[in-house]
Amino acid sequence: MTQPRRVILLGSTGSIGESTIEVVRNLQAVPGQECQLVGLAAGSRADRLLEQAGEFGVRDIAVANEAKARDIAFDGTLHVGAESARELVESVAQPGDLVVAAIVGSAGIDAVLAAIDAGCDIALANKETLVAAGALVMPRVVERGVNLIPVDSEHSAIFQCLHGVSKEAEIRRLVITASGGPFRGRAREAVREATPEQALDHPTWSMGPKITIDSASMMNKALEVIEAHWLFDVPADKIDVIVHPQSIVHSFVEFVDGSVLAQLGPPDMKTPIQCAMTWPDRVEGCSKRLNWEELRSLVFEPLDHEAFPAVMRALDVIRRGGTTGAIFNAANEVAVEAFLDRRVSFGAIVDLVSAAIEAIPSKPVTALADIVEADTAARAFVASEIAAGNGLENVVTSGTSGTD
Ligand code: NAD
Ligand code: MG
């Protein structure tokens, strides 16, 4: 009998983390697909992390939040602090392990790079890693000969549609679907005034708070456009976004001969998570199924770039290259946090991000230090804009404001 696949789950207590736990439980019953969780990392929910470790007999865990880790009694190895996920990977990972990267934000970059260096395959949910550090991650994946398989539903769809396609010249464009979020159909000014409660109320997906706000502002789609550029090595002018409110068609690939392939499924992240974990095999899944009897139509509409300028910004980020992705991502992380704390308006998120990419010069990416420097500069820039009162409304007065 073959050994179960060793899996390290980073961000185990979050929305993707918990869905991954369900998939792991499902796979235990599938001969040849059994997994052994050998490491778990989380930010602050130490109690839940300990439950997970107990259920799966995990001996190595990491908690980023030092205060939350203080009272933990754990009969195994506990890593604590901002570097703890990376330390966990460095101490536990073996070549051929699978690392599910489901930490939110650029906090996940280090651990992903460490996992690649250790020769692990990556199931990547943490899109911010590619947005900020794609220029480091993708060459390293090739160098180390590991597999990086997307978990993000749109990228899982494109990945599946591109299976067997080896030439970029065959692809006319990648079309990423967007649910449109809670503010679909609203005019620009109405979108800009949204409250955190309204922005957190996503119509089709249940996700962590940061990505839910990103979905409402279309920053999620913007990040996904940049993620697609890195994953599939396509330029900005071959990536498009279309609104599809039902979230059933997860994305399309249009080929030069006129053929279009799409991947469909229910809006349930367990499908792309399992797909990434068992690829290239497909086994019985544990997500909801599409009910074809009830499905009458599939709806598509163009994205309103006036109300949602983030996607145009992202295409610009790809064209600028260098550290622009890291600046874009970090500025957004700080702006989203400030919006959730009611320190800035919803409309200010994209304004602050746009201002950051204009204000901070882009540099070539040669090492992680370049990413860290750009990330730090963007965080400081946005924090100082907010401190100066730029963010309650119309923080950017000219040039960079959203009128694509
Ligand atoms: P979440 O907020 O629900 O969970 C984030 C997880 O990361 C938690 O376990 C948290 O404890 C952990 N974490 C946060 N900071 C950490 C740190 N410094 N060190 C270690 N762990 C830390 O977020 P989510 O919705 O599960 O999203 C996770 C990632 O997956 C994001 O990058 C998101 O964009 C991406 N993603 C999510 C979905 C979804 O449906 N939720 C879909 C596609 C992509
Ligand atoms: Mg997605």
Query: Do 143 and 205 sit in the same domain of this protein?
Result: no
Give a yes or no: residue 41 inside a domain. yes
* Average pLDDT, integer, range 177-198: 96
Question: How many angstroms separate the CA atoms of 291 and 264, rounded?
Answer: 12
Q: How far is CA 362 from CA 39, 317, 356, 367, in A?
A: 36, 10, 10, 14
In the β-sheet with 171-178, what is the strand arrangement from edge to edge?
260-264, 249-255, 171-178, 239-243, 301-302
Residue 395 pLDDT exceeds 80: no
In short, whether 125's Cβ falls inside 6 Å of ligand 1 is yes
Query: Do 85 and 198 sit in the same domain of this protein?
Result: no
- Percent of the chain predicted with pLDDT > 90: 92
Query: Do 200 and 347 sit in the same domain of this protein?
Result: yes
Question: Of 267-281, 284-298, 343-357, which gets the smallest average pLDDT?
Answer: 284-298
- Percent of the chain predicted with pLDDT > 70: 97
Residue of 9, 10, 15 to test ligand 1 pocket, by largest number of atoms within 8 Å of CB? 15
Query: Do 218 and 260 sit in the same domain of this protein?
Result: yes
Query: Do 216 and 352 sit in the same domain of this protein?
Result: yes
Residue written as token pair 């090739």:
142
Query: Do 64 and 177 sit in the same domain of this protein?
Result: no
* Residue nearest atom 8 of ligand 1, based on CA coordinates: 14
Give a yes or no: residue 180 inside a domain. yes
Give a yes or no: residue 276 inside a domain. no
In short, whether 101's Cβ falls inside 6 Å of ligand 1 is no
Question: How many angstroms separate the CA atoms of 58 and 6, rounded?
Answer: 11
Question: How many angstroms separate the CA atoms of 22 and 125, rounded?
Answer: 16
Query: Do 131 and 227 sit in the same domain of this protein?
Result: no
In short, whether 207's Cβ falls inside 6 Å of ligand 1 is yes
Query: Do 116 and 217 sit in the same domain of this protein?
Result: no
Domain of 82, in residue numbers: 5-150
Give a yes or no: residue 284 inside a domain. no
Give a yes or no: residue 275 inside a domain. no
Residue 394 pLDDT exceeds 70: no
Query: Do 146 and 171 sit in the same domain of this protein?
Result: no
Ligand 2: centre distance to CA 154 (Å): 5
pTM of the model: 0.96
Query: Do 205 and 308 sit in the same domain of this protein?
Result: yes
Question: How many angstroms separate the CA atoms of 186 and 189, rounded?
Answer: 8
Query: What is the pLDDT, as a whole number, of residue 398?
Result: 35
Query: What is the pLDDT, as a whole number, of residue 136?
Result: 98
Give a yes or no: residue 161 inside a domain. no
Each residue of 345-363: pLDDT tens digit? 999 999 999 999 999 999 9
Ligand 1: centre distance to CA 278 (Å): 21
Question: How many angstroms separate the CA atoms of 53 and 27, rounded?
Answer: 17
Each residue of 43-80: pLDDT tens digit? 999 999 999 999 999 999 999 999 999 888 999 999 99
Query: Do 246 and 328 sit in the same domain of this protein?
Result: yes
Query: Which of 150, 177, 209 delimits the end of a domain?
Result: 150
Give a yes or no: residue 400 inside a domain. no
Which phi and psi angles does 358 have, rounded to 5°? -80, -40
**Total structural domains within the chain:** 2
In short, whether 150's Cβ falls inside 6 Å of ligand 1 is no
Query: What is the pLDDT, as a whole number, of residue 78?
Result: 97
Residue of 8, 45, 63, 104 to test ligand 1 pocket, by largest number of atoms within 8 Å of CB? 104
Torsion, CA 362, CA 106, CA 127, CA 279, rounded to 10: 130
Each residue of 199-239: pLDDT tens digit? 999 888 889 999 999 999 999 999 999 999 999 999 999 99
Give a yes or no: residue 399 inside a domain. no
Query: Do 343 and 212 sit in the same domain of this protein?
Result: yes
- Dihedral over Cα of 175, 181, 186, 192: its sign: negative
* Residue nearest atom 17 of ligand 1, based on CA coordinates: 43
Ligand 1: centre distance to CA 214 (Å): 13
Q: How many residues does the chain have?
A: 404
In short, whether 85's Cβ falls inside 6 Å of ligand 1 is yes
Q: What is the CATH number of the domain that holds 327?
A: 1.10.1740.10
Q: What is the CATH number of the domain that holds 50?
A: 3.40.50.720
